[in-house]
Amino acid sequence: MKQPILETLAPVDGVVRSAMDAIVVLDDRLRVLVFNPAAERMFGVPQRQAVGVELERFVADRSRGRLAADVEAAIDGPTRGGLLTFAGLRPDGGEFPCEASVAPHTANGGRLFTVVIRDITQRTHSQESLRRQIAFETFFFDLSRTLIGLPEERVDENMVPGLGRVGAFLGLDRVTLLELSADRKAMTVAYSWSAGGVAAPSPRITAETQPWWLGQVMRGQVTLAARVDDLPGEASREKRYLIERGVVSAASIPLRVGGEIAGAITFATVERQETWPPEMVNRLRAIGDIFWNALKRHQAMQARIAVQAQVRESEERFRLIASTAPVIIWMSDADNRTTYVNESWTAMTGLPLDAALGAGWADTIHSADREGCREVYTSASAQHAPFSVEYRLRCRGGEFRWAFAHGVPRYDVDGAFAGYIGSAIDVTERKEAEDLLSSLSQRLIEAQEQERARVARELHDDINQRLALLLLSLEIVRQRLGSVDPHLERQLAEAIATASTLTSDVQNLSHRLHSSRLQTVGLESAARGVCRELSDRSGVEIEFQSEGILAGLPEDVSICLYRVLQEALQNAIKHSGSRQITVALRNDATALTLAVLDAGKGFDRGKALKNRGLGLVSMKERLKLVDGQLTIEARSPAGTAVRAVVPLNASPPGAEV
């Protein structure tokens, strides 16, 4: 049967040979009939050697039973469907992951099975790498949260168990945290964890016992050894030390404080060989930083308990770290006086550090922002709460740049509020981008209003007048014809009615595009009119209320609130399902408030904003142009309340005085 079957496959031979995936055709005894070039490359076997061989020849032992069962299932059924996975096998014994689909069919009375196979090694590696990354990030987050969130007095008891968690997660047999001695000539073990039966490290390592390794650490060099024999010849003492303790692979990561070497964390295996790829080294660095910070916290607590001088030393260590930070770091006391700023403040302002102490910092804040900053800080301080604030800071040369400051409360050893510690960063580029977007939004809205007005004028002054002339002409024709032709008279009457309706529709459209009433009778009357028109058109009852509205409102404020009202009413009519809507327009002499309230089904405000739906983004952008704010309360089934508030005494921040 073999030759007729191959003749049947001849028409698609070119497709099979050029396919990127391996294509193998089997007979009903699962022997190879066709083995395309992609299959030859994948399995490392030429076609002449593959033809006539059973499929299991190319499948690893652990996958043969399952794959055979899947193919056998295809023999008994029309098709198995879906994808099969198995381990492929090359002549040298190498295995690789495969994904395959089996399609049974009949040719010249014979039963054939076409198996399309794809090497998924790269995809499997990518998936495994992603899985490991997610697992590590989850582990790292939990470890960080545990050690950082511990009270200082509990750090010591959790260090060794924490190192043990690292060893278990990474499959290591020993993890050790070491500190550099005060004379910088030795390393002493601070904490170490070893798996059962694994020798503990030497408690002290000196230049005499391990000179090469200590030199590596002091130079800030990472040391990696997949095998102990990989270490250079000058590391003979280190090799002997590791071999005596049964170490197979080892790694060492230097730890720094303020840019200077202060310790190291080491990792070792005794049961397996670890190659220490770059991804692993980066993870070891991050783990080392966590334990080092926890160690420093514990030591700082011990120092505070011991003597006040050591407290000052700890503060100096903090200042050393803070001085290298690329952002402003500051501290204040419980009386809201600045007690410390780092060198970044000087770099930004050009002033000496002591110019910021006490209340001096406020002198560099733009006069228009100063009171707002003071209110935010005072309010947060009264509640001992974190705060964030933006303001303009006077920098070198007298220019002002936008800064974003964030502060969190700090407490002394007795738990009493001691002030704040925080940071400030330059956000001028972000603010300028926001201003640019706001300016662009304003120009777009202004252009939209101008175009609305132009189209409305065209409709009112041109189209509407033409329709009026047409209506007059039709009426004259009807009067002159009299009742000569009843059929023609009816047609003229229908044309006159249509023209009259069209005239009214064009007039209404003109008003919706650009309300002339807004300019002639003011916001209150125009708002009342739009409520009445929408109510008549939709059949929804719209109640309009007003209180204290002044004539002569700024044009931009009137147009803004008029458009917000139109948008909010259309949303309520279209989406709320409510048959009654209340509109309230009030002026309390400091702000003008527009409220649109319905008792409908409500909506998800966050989702609507994210999807840029219901015109919410448009309303917010319009209100920003007049320093207004939009608030929305949307609760199902309690309905929706849309409120727009525009301050009447608002003015843009003035220049510095």
Identify which has the larger pLDDT, 298 or 334.
334
In a domain? residue 319: no
Q: Do 379 and 241 belong together in one domain?
A: no
pLDDT > 90: percent of the chain: 14
Q: End of a domain among 119, 146, 167?
A: 119
Q: How confident is the model at residue 458 (pLDDT cuts 50, 70, 90)?
A: low
Asked if 585 contacts 594 with a C-beta cutoff of 8 angstroms, the reply is: yes
Q: Do 335 and 404 belong together in one domain?
A: yes
In a domain? residue 315: no
Asked if 144 contacts 136 with a C-beta cutoff of 8 angstroms, the reply is: no
In a domain? residue 604: yes
CATH number at residue 607: 3.30.565.10
| Number of CB atoms found within 10 A of residue 107's CB | 17
Q: Which residues have C-beta within 8 Å of that of residue 569, sequence separation ≥ 6?
A: 530, 531, 534, 542, 581, 583, 596
Identify which has the larger pLDDT, 139 or 609.
139
Residue 7 has pLDDT above 60, yes or no: no
Per-residue HEC secondary structure of 215-284 comes to HHHHCCCCEEECCHHHCCHHHHHHHHHHHHCCCCEEEEEEEEECCEEEEEEEEEECCCCCCCCHHHHHHH
Q: Is the dihedral of CA 479, 483, 485, 487 positive or negative?
A: positive
Residue 103 has pLDDT above 70, yes or no: yes
Q: Do 382 and 463 belong together in one domain?
A: no
Residue 237 has pLDDT above 50, yes or no: yes
Q: Residue 576: which of 643, 644, 636 has the closest Cα?
A: 636
Q: Which residues have C-beta within 8 Å of that of residue 12, sequence separation ≥ 6?
A: none
Q: How confident is the model at residue 653 (pLDDT cuts 50, 70, 90)?
A: very low
The per-residue pLDDT for 355 is 83
pLDDT in tens, 307-332: 445 545 556 666 666 666 668 888 89
Please give the helix or strand (H or E) that residue 420 lies within, else none: strand 417-426
In a domain? residue 77: yes
Q: Do 557 and 653 belong together in one domain?
A: yes
Structurally, how many domains does the chain consist of? 5
The per-residue pLDDT for 227 is 92
Tokens (6 digits) for 529 = 């009119």
User: How many angstroms separate the CA atoms of 448 and 471, rounded?
Assistant: 32
Q: Which residues have C-beta within 8 Å of that of residue 357, sequence separation ≥ 6?
A: 337, 338, 339, 340, 341
Q: Do 402 and 465 belong together in one domain?
A: no
Residue 112 has pLDDT above 90, yes or no: no
Amino acid at residue number 409: P
Identify which has the larger pLDDT, 649 or 40.
40
Average pLDDT over residues 389-409: 89
The residue behind tokens 């529709």 is: 505
Residue 654 has pLDDT above 50, yes or no: no
Residue 625 has pLDDT above 80, yes or no: no
Q: Do 417 and 447 belong together in one domain?
A: no
Q: Do 509 and 534 belong together in one domain?
A: no
pLDDT > 70: percent of the chain: 78
Amino acid at residue number 124: T
Q: What is the mean pLDDT of the chain?
A: 79
Which regions of 94-185 does DSSP assign to beta strands (E)?
Answer: 95-107, 110-119, 174-180
In a domain? residue 551: yes
pLDDT in tens, 354-394: 888 888 888 889 999 999 889 998 899 899 999 999 999 99
Q: Do 492 and 388 belong together in one domain?
A: no
pLDDT in tens, 204-232: 999 889 999 999 999 999 999 999 988 99
Asked if 600 contacts 633 with a C-beta cutoff of 8 angstroms, the reply is: no
Average pLDDT over residues 603-612: 56
Asked if 250 contacts 213 with a C-beta cutoff of 8 angstroms, the reply is: no
Residue 79 has pLDDT above 50, yes or no: no
Q: Which residues have C-beta within 8 Å of that of residue 191, sequence separation ≥ 6?
A: 159, 160, 163, 176, 177, 291, 295
For helices 428-457 and 486-513, angle between their N-to-C axes, nearest 10 degrees: 160
pLDDT in tens, 493-529: 777 778 777 776 666 665 555 555 666 667 787 788 8
pLDDT in tens, 482-502: 666 777 777 777 777 787 777
The per-residue pLDDT for 308 is 47
Q: Do 451 and 494 belong together in one domain?
A: yes
The distance of Cα 310 from the centroid of its chain, to the nearest Å, equals 42
Amino acid at residue number 575: H
Q: End of a domain among 483, 514, 545?
A: 514
Q: Do 279 and 342 belong together in one domain?
A: no
Show the domain range for 24: 2-119
Q: How confident is the model at residue 624 (pLDDT cuts 50, 70, 90)?
A: confident
Tokens (6 digits) for 18 = 């050029």
Asked if 58 contacts 119 with a C-beta cutoff of 8 angstroms, the reply is: no
Average pLDDT over residues 598-618: 63
Residue 469 has pLDDT above 80, yes or no: no
Average pLDDT over residues 466-483: 71
For residue 201, CA distances in Å to 181, 228, 295, 519 come to: 17, 16, 19, 87
Q: Residue 173: which of 249, 231, 240, 230 has the closest Cα?
A: 249
**Across the beta sheet with 591-598, what order do the strands follow?**
541-547, 580-587, 591-598, 639-647, 629-635
User: How many angstroms separate the CA atoms of 22 and 100, rounded?
Assistant: 9
Secondary structure (DSSP) of 312-352: HHHHHHHHHHHHT-SSEEEEE-TTS-EEEE-HHHHHHH-S-
In a domain? residue 250: yes
The per-residue pLDDT for 175 is 93
Q: Do 550 and 634 belong together in one domain?
A: yes
The per-residue pLDDT for 224 is 93
Residue 636 has pLDDT above 70, yes or no: no
The per-residue pLDDT for 437 is 66
The per-residue pLDDT for 440 is 64
pLDDT in tens, 10-66: 555 677 788 888 898 888 788 888 899 998 999 989 989 989 998 888 888 888 877
Residue 173 has pLDDT above 80, yes or no: yes
In a domain? residue 602: yes
pLDDT in tens, 549-584: 766 777 778 777 877 888 888 888 888 788 888 988
CATH number at residue 78: 3.30.450.20
In a domain? residue 125: no
Q: End of a domain among 119, 141, 159?
A: 119
User: How many angstroms separate the CA atoms of 172 and 166, rounded?
Assistant: 8
Q: Do 277 and 406 belong together in one domain?
A: no
Residue 656 has pLDDT above 50, yes or no: no
User: How many angstroms separate the CA atoms of 3 and 27, rounded?
Assistant: 12
The per-residue pLDDT for 655 is 40
The residue behind tokens 């004539």 is: 551
The per-residue pLDDT for 1 is 45
Identify which has the larger pLDDT, 641 or 257.
641
- Residue 628 is given by DSSP the state -
